Amino acid sequence: MSSIGDDAPATSHGTVLVLFGIVEIAAGVLYLAKAVIYALLSVPGVASLPARYGGLEVPLLETAVSLPPASFFLAIGFGSILARRWARALALAFSALWLAAGTLGTVFLAFCLPRIFAALKPLSEPAARSVSLSPEIRAYACIALVGVVLPGASVLFYASRATKAECERRDPDERWTDRVPLAALATAMLLAVGALLALDLGFSPSRQILFFGHPLGAGARAAAAAVAAVEIAAAWGVCRMDRRAWAAAAAVMALRGAADAAIALRIARTGLGAIAAAAGPVRPESRAAIERLEPLHPLGMVAAFVTALAIAAFAFVGWNALRFGRARARAAADSP
């Protein structure tokens, strides 16, 4: 089955490669700007952070966590403009993950947003009658655009045979991504994102207070660092199609999924009001909104979404681990 745009001339695909590259560079610049801002905030005397948030640990950590995605988006952005094979493969793998998560989130919000807007509507001023779209429709349209339309367009474009041919024409040398299946690239990205999240949670006192009510001890921080190290090593091994790395990826994904679901469930049981209070002083208008949202159990909805996302990620990694493992076993059996 051909993708949209397969029969378009190569020049048009070169132009669209540039356009997508500009968008990806813009995303990288935003992450880089975030890293620079937090780096400046970490300079003594520039800004004062609440002591209970760990002082200057938060901006320094945010700087470190923002640099890898900034480097990734800048790399695939310039690579797309130059029509590099590896950039097309990485952009396609990322877009596929983005589309999967965005579609799940869009479907989830389709059930949640009407109830949330209905609960918050009494807080807003009565709006005059107009032919404009309601806030609910505008919000959902933006969510669908970001979660489904944009990644869907990216997947269709980067997966098309004409785009692949254009990149191969302008970048004739074989690249390492040519030897790695799309599913393996997507799995490696999942593991890399998981490693960043593990480090972020393990070494961010602000997030620990928000999620657990207190900073984590040395043992928990060491465990988070160990999980991040395993995920990075597994991502590297998955790209090399190592069977042991696939087994480690499936195991760590199961562990991460269970931990994420447990944390989300704990936060849901804590309640929206307590979580908001842990984050800092709550304004009267925010307190009124929380009181209206609390009966809807919004954090329970988030816990359900996180659990569904964790199950989907584990199913994806586990299925591919079995699939590639069986393929390797058949290849070994057929070899003389």
CA dihedral (49, 52, 54, 55) positive or negative: positive
User: Which tens digits make up the pLDDT trace of 195-246?
Assistant: 998 888 887 777 787 778 778 888 888 888 899 999 999 999 999 989 899 9
pLDDT higher than 80, residue 3: no
- Beta-strand ranges (E) seen in the chain are none
Global pTM reads 0.84
Distance from C-alpha of 304 to C-alpha of 236, rounded to nearest angstrom: 31
Are 172 and 23 within 8 A, CB to CB?
no
Whole-angstrom CA distances from 182 to 69, 140, 226, 313, 327 are: 19, 30, 27, 15, 15
Distance from C-alpha of 233 to C-alpha of 188, rounded to nearest angstrom: 10
Going by pLDDT thresholds of 50, 70 and 90, the confidence category of residue 89 is: very high
DSSP sequence for 240-286: TT-HHHHHHHHHHHHHHHHHHHHHHHHHHHH-HHHHHHHHS---HHH
* Tokens linked to 331: 């290849």
Distance from C-alpha of 237 to C-alpha of 244, rounded to nearest angstrom: 8
User: Which tens digits make up the pLDDT trace of 145-154?
Assistant: 999 999 999 9
Cβ–Cβ contacts within 10 Å for residue 28, how many? 20
pLDDT at 21: 95
DSSP sequence for 48-96: ---GGGTTTHHHHHHHHHHHHHHHHHHHHHHHHHTT-HHHHHHHHHHHH
pLDDT at 126: 53
pLDDT higher than 90, residue 94: yes
Q: Structural domain boundaries of the chain?
A: 1-174, 180-330
Distance from C-alpha of 227 to C-alpha of 245, rounded to nearest angstrom: 14
Going by pLDDT thresholds of 50, 70 and 90, the confidence category of residue 59 is: low
